[in-house]
Amino acid sequence: MTSVVETNRRLARETLAGSVLEYQEPEVAVSVAWFRITSERLTATQLQQLLREEDVHVLPGTYFHWYTPSRGERFVASRSPATGEVRRLR
């Protein structure tokens, strides 16, 4: 039986393939999906602002790199990659 988390991960990988967001396989079981921003011209903070205008909510990785927030500018996290929201990330 496939869990909701596994289904969402598969959906995220398939939907965002070829976009500026690259799905990051988790090393431990977590309920958030992490994506690496492949474009060097786009930061996590900028992407969050752009997506907010589309009513898509992500957290910049800067919130998870307290000591060196700049390291988190290459990553965003999505709490619930539901079908419609993931498609709008593309």
pLDDT digits (tens, 9 = 90+) for 61-72: 999 888 998 999
pLDDT at residue 90 tops 60: no
User: Given this model, what pLDDT does residue 81 score?
Assistant: 55
Residue 87: which H helix or E strand, with range? Answer: helix 83-89
User: Given this model, what pLDDT does residue 87 score?
Assistant: 58
Domain count across the chain: 1
Cβ atoms within 10 A of the Cβ of 56, count? 17
Q: Which two tokens stand for residue 14?
A: 């398939």
CA distance linking residue 41 with residue 82, whole number of Å? 27
Domain with 9 in it = 4-89
pLDDT digits (tens, 9 = 90+) for 29-53: 777 889 999 999 999 999 999 999 9
CATH number for the domain that contains residue 65: 3.90.1150.10
Lowest mean pLDDT among 3-7, 44-48, 72-76: 3-7
User: Rounded to two decimals, what is the model's pTM?
Assistant: 0.80
